[in-house]
Amino acid sequence: MFLFSREVVGTTSRLLYFKSDYIVLLMKQIFLLLSTVLCLSLSSLSAHKPNVLFLAMDDQNDWIGCMGGHPLVKTPNIDALAARGTLFTNAHTQSPLCNPARTSLMVGLRPSTTGIHGLAPWFRDVRQWADLVSLPQHFANNGYQTYSNGKIYHSLRHQPADMDDPEFQHWGAIGGFGIPKPPKKLIPPTPFGDHALMDWGVWPLDNDDTTKSDWEVASKAIEMLDNMPKGKPFFLTAGFYLPHVPCYATQKWFDLYPDDASILPKMPKNDRDDVPFSSWWTHWSLPEPRQKWIEENDQDINLVRSYLASTSFIDNQIGRVLEALDRNGFTDNTIIVLWSDHGYHLGEKLITGKNTLWARSTRVPLIFAGPGVKGGQKCNLPAELLDMYPTLADLCDLPELKHLEGISLVPQLTNANASRKRPAITSHNQGNFSIVSEKWRYIHYVDGAEELYDIENDYDEWTNLASQKPDVLKKMRKWLPKIDNGPVEGSSHRVLTYYHGVPVWEGKIIGENDPVPHDD
């Protein structure tokens, strides 16, 4: 046994206390150092993530040079982007209407899931969906700076004052339809109320594009690129309004196209003789004039030429933004995605406008380019705008979100022939769907009526084969969504319901013997 004096024990105790204090202080310093290193590492990782340039067009159908939708259309900047990226030639919207289409792609859910079918409501006003993490929010939550310009959502152009978690962190150009506007409409009064947006033609007359709303959208996006802070990746949007009506463009863009019938699409008068009457219910009474009015008022060439001119003008704005991206040295580390919310009829199927389940309404441009994307590819596998959210998250290595209904397109971005089994699904109000594979378009209406087109051999969808292909119908029906919710509270504008066998369009019953409205 060892015996220690009180002095020795006291000295030893003091030494032990000193050593304990030293160890605690050392541990704190190590923890602080590790925290600093971790923060710097996370910051470094965030700084090296690819940027995203998110380019949107409004009502742009497949009349894009690289898509072959119109033989005369001129879109050199979009074509060049497609040439260095991957073009999805069989991409389709989730709805042929702005609000449900844009809501779907921005939150990653189908309209048949959310119940958002009309031009209202804004999804955050729906209690069930108010807290959904949107695409730009997901990027902001993972270290990105997010920027908005123009039309991305249907109606949101600035940050709501009562919203804690912003849709975008930085807001730029608002833009608008048909700005600047002529003193009065350029075309005769249109049916169904002579809506102010139903107009087209050469405007402004001074051939100056710099006063146009979409020029401003591009210019603000360029300004943001020119002044982009270093050290954080960005998610920057530019949402263009054209070729949505009113289709105003300056003379220089009209001069690209002949002023004669050579620019018109094929519009056979018997095009709807073999389709069900309920096909009319999805666009029963709308501001967009029918083919009948267009021809009677000598507007067919003018409308098509205005649409093509507007498309070429927007192509030019896209080129301006891409040039700024390159000039600022961002191109090599930026994923570019270009899309349109849905298509547009210009006389085909006896109508103008959208709101149908045929290709002219559902088929849209969808192009990816940049890191992780193989250049010079065309993919004819069915793709959906719904797929953009998971694809961009995948490309930028963001955490997976469980609520998303889309499927990442990354396998096809590296190999256009990579297997993809799911078709593209579009809905327009409850119970109305189109299902598109590589070969077939199947349409199911709310009353059970059906259409079927062999899109490999019948590009214009003129021959309904539903009565001749029962085996194909059976196969395609399996893809009808199991979730098919009706309109949520607050739904309005272009809403069709069908309860107890009675179709109701925008609150008015469609009678069993009511004639199709053409020029009311």
Of the candidates 168, 156, 159, 152, the one whose C-alpha atom is nearest the C-alpha of residue 241 is 152
Residue 36: predicted pLDDT: 43
Q: Which of 395, 426, 457 is the last residue of a domain?
A: 426
Residue 148: predicted pLDDT: 97
Residue 11: predicted pLDDT: 45
Say yes or no: 21 and 124 in one domain: no
Q: Measured over all CA atoms, what is the biggest interatomic distance in the chain, rounded to whole angstroms?
A: 119
Q: Is residue 402 part of a domain?
A: yes
Q: Is residue 498 part of a domain?
A: no
Say yes or no: 195 and 310 in one domain: yes
Say yes or no: 243 and 258 in one domain: yes
Number of domains in the chain: 2
| Per-residue pLDDT reduced to its tens digit, 424-464 | 999 999 999 999 999 999 999 999 999 999 999 999 999 99
Residues spanned by the domain of 22? 8-47
- For residue 362, what are its two tokens? 């559902």
Whole-angstrom distance, CA of residue 44 vs CA of residue 36: 12
Of the candidates 299, 301, 363, 370, the one whose C-alpha atom is nearest the C-alpha of residue 333 is 370
Residue 165: predicted pLDDT: 78
User: What is the pTM (predicted TM-score) of this model?
Assistant: 0.91
Residue 46: predicted pLDDT: 59
**DSSP-derived secondary structure letter, 71:** T
| Per-residue pLDDT reduced to its tens digit, 176-198 | 999 999 999 999 999 999 999 99
SS3 383: strand
CA dihedral 341, 221, 196, 277 (to 10 degrees): 0
Q: Is residue 196 part of a domain?
A: yes
CATH assignment at residue 92 = 3.40.720.10
Say yes or no: 271 and 324 in one domain: yes
Say yes or no: 88 and 34 in one domain: no
Q: Is residue 367 part of a domain?
A: yes
Enumerate residues 6+ apart whose C-beta is below 8 A from 136. 106, 146, 148, 167, 168, 235, 237
Which regions in the chain score pLDDT beneath 70? Answer: 1-47, 157-158, 160-163, 520
Residue 24: predicted pLDDT: 46
Q: Provide the angle, in degrees to the nearest 10, between the axes of the packed helices 76-83 and 300-327.
A: 50
Q: Which residues are catalytically annotated? A: 98, 154
Whole-angstrom distance, CA of residue 162 vs CA of residue 170: 16
Say yes or no: 66 and 43 in one domain: no
Say yes or no: 24 and 102 in one domain: no
Q: Which of 378, 401, 426 is the last residue of a domain?
A: 426
SS3 433: strand
First to last CA, the chain: 113
**DSSP-derived secondary structure letter, 150:** B
Q: Is residue 470 part of a domain?
A: no
Q: Is residue 478 part of a domain?
A: no
Say yes or no: 152 and 29 in one domain: no
Say yes or no: 106 and 33 in one domain: no
**CA Rg value for the chain:** 27
Contact 102, 152 (CB under 8 A): yes
Residue 141: predicted pLDDT: 97
Contact 344, 59 (CB under 8 A): yes
Say yes or no: 36 and 85 in one domain: no
Say yes or no: 57 and 31 in one domain: no
Q: Which of 394, 426, 458 is the last residue of a domain?
A: 426
Identify the sign of the CA torsion 151, 156, 159, 165: negative
Q: Is residue 499 part of a domain?
A: no
Say yes or no: 78 and 37 in one domain: no
Phi-psi region of 150 (alpha: psi -120 to 50; beta: other; left: phi over 0): left
Identify the sign of the CA torsion 170, 130, 244, 405: positive
* Residue whose tokens read 């032990």: 16
- Contacts by 387-393 with C-beta closer than 8 Å and gap 24+? 388/105, 388/135, 388/337, 388/339, 389/105, 389/106, 389/107, 389/108, 389/135, 389/138, 390/108, 391/337, 392/52, 392/135, 392/139, 392/335, 392/337, 393/138
